[in-house]
Amino acid sequence: MAMKLSGPGDIGKVSFLDSTKTNLFKLKGGFALKRKDNAKSFGMGARCSMQGPPPAWPGRAVPEQGHKTWDGPKPISIVGSTGSIGTQTLDIVAENPDKFRVVALAAGSNVTLLADQVKTFRPQLVAVRNESLVNELKEALADADYKPEIIVGEQGVIEVARHPDAVTVVTGIVGCAGLKPTVAAIEAGKDIALANKETLIAGGPFVLPLAQKHNVKILPADSEHSAIFQCIQGLPEGALRRIILTASGGSFRDWPVEKLKDVKVADALKHPNWNMGKKITVDSATLFNKASYFGLEVIEAHYLFGAEYDDIEIVIHPQSIIHSMIETQDSSVLAQLGWPDMRLPILYTLSWPDRVYCSEITWPRLDLCKQGSLTFKAPDNVKYPSMDLAYAAGRAGGTMTGVLSAANEKAVEMFIDEKISYLDIFKYVELTCDKHRAELVVNPSLEEIIHYDLWARKYAAGLLPSPVAV
CATH of the domain at 414: 1.10.1740.10
Q: Which residue, of 188, 220, 252, is where some domain finishes?
A: 220
How far apart are the C-alpha atoms of 35 and 19, rounded to whole Å? 9
Same domain, 83 and 210: yes
Do 385 and 417 fall within a single domain? Answer: no
Residue 36 lies in a domain: no
Beta strands in 175-274 (DSSP E): 191-194, 218-220, 240-247
Count of other CB atoms within 10 angstroms of residue 148: 18
| In a domain? residue 5 | no
Listed residues 187, 220, 253: the one ending a domain: 220
- Dist CA 136 CA 86 (whole Å): 21
> Residue 423 belongs to what domain range?
397-469
Distance CA 318, CA 338 (A): 14
Q: What pLDDT is attached to residue 64?
A: 84
Check residue 45 and give left, alpha or beta (phi > 0: left; psi -120 to 50: alpha): left
Phi and psi at 187, nearest 5°, equal -65, -25
Contacting residues for 49 by C-beta, under 8 A, at least 6 apart: 55, 302, 306, 307, 308
If asked whether residues 216 and 268 sit together in one domain, one would say: no
Using an 8 Å Cβ cutoff, are 205 and 397 in contact? yes
Same domain for 93 and 186?
yes
Beta bridge partners of 244: 313, 325
- What pLDDT, on a 0 to 100 scale, did the predictor assign at position 279? 44
Asked if residue 26 is part of any domain, the answer here is no
Note whether residue 148 is domain-resident: yes
Q: Are residues 333 and 423 in the same domain?
A: no
Q: Which of 343, 100, 103, 323 is nearest to 230 (CA)?
A: 323
CB 204 within 8 A of CB 303: yes
Residue 356 in domain: no
Identity of the amino acid at 215: N
Question: Contact, 33 vs 391, CB < 8 A?
Answer: yes
How many domains are there within the chain?
3
Contact indicator for 84, 172 with CB cutoff of 8 Å? yes
Query: Does residue 272 have a cis bond before it (omega within 30 degrees)?
Result: no
Residue 296 CA, distance from chain mean position: 7
Q: How crowded is residue 256: how many other Cβ atoms within 10 Å of its Cβ? A: 8
Q: Considering only CA atoms, which of 336, 345, 344, 339 is closest in space to residue 365?
A: 339
DSSP assigned state of 103: E
What was the pLDDT predicted at 398?
A: 96
* Residue 37, domain member (yes or no): no
* 199/287 same-domain check: no
Closest CA to 415 of 8, 2, 27: 8
Give dist(CA 268, CA 281) in Å, integer. Answer: 7
Same-domain check for residues 385 and 427: no
Parallel, antiparallel, or unpaired for β 149-152 and 168-171? unpaired
Radius of gyration over every alpha carbon of the chain, rounded to an integer in angstroms: 22
The angle formed by the CA atoms of residues 116, 117 and 120, to the nearest 5 degrees, is 90
| Average pLDDT per consecutive 10 residues, the chain (470 residues; last block may be shorter) | 39 36 37 39 43 90 80 95 96 97 96 97 97 95 94 97 98 90 98 94 96 97 96 96 88 59 61 46 40 71 97 93 98 97 96 93 92 91 83 95 94 90 90 96 96 97 70
- How far is the C-alpha of 174 from the C-alpha of 116, rounded, in Å? 21
Amino acid at 200: L
The secondary structure of residue 399, as a DSSP letter, is: T
Residues 180 and 159 in one domain: yes
Report the predicted TM-score, pTM, of the whole model to 2 decimal places. 0.85
Say if residue 388 is in the same domain as residue 410.
no
Which phi and psi (to 5°) does residue 74 adopt?
Answer: -75, 130
Specify if 18 maps to a domain: no
Q: What pLDDT is attached to residue 283?
A: 41
Q: Are residues 383 and 432 in the same domain?
A: no
Where does 256-385 have alpha helices with state H?
Answer: 265-268, 278-286, 295-305, 343-351, 368-371
Q: What is the CATH number of the domain that holds 146?
A: 3.40.50.720
Listed residues 220, 249, 268: the one ending a domain: 220
Residue 227 identity (one-letter amino acid): A
- If asked whether residues 85 and 150 sit together in one domain, one would say yes
Same domain, 213 and 244: no
Is there a domain that residue 351 lies in?
A: no
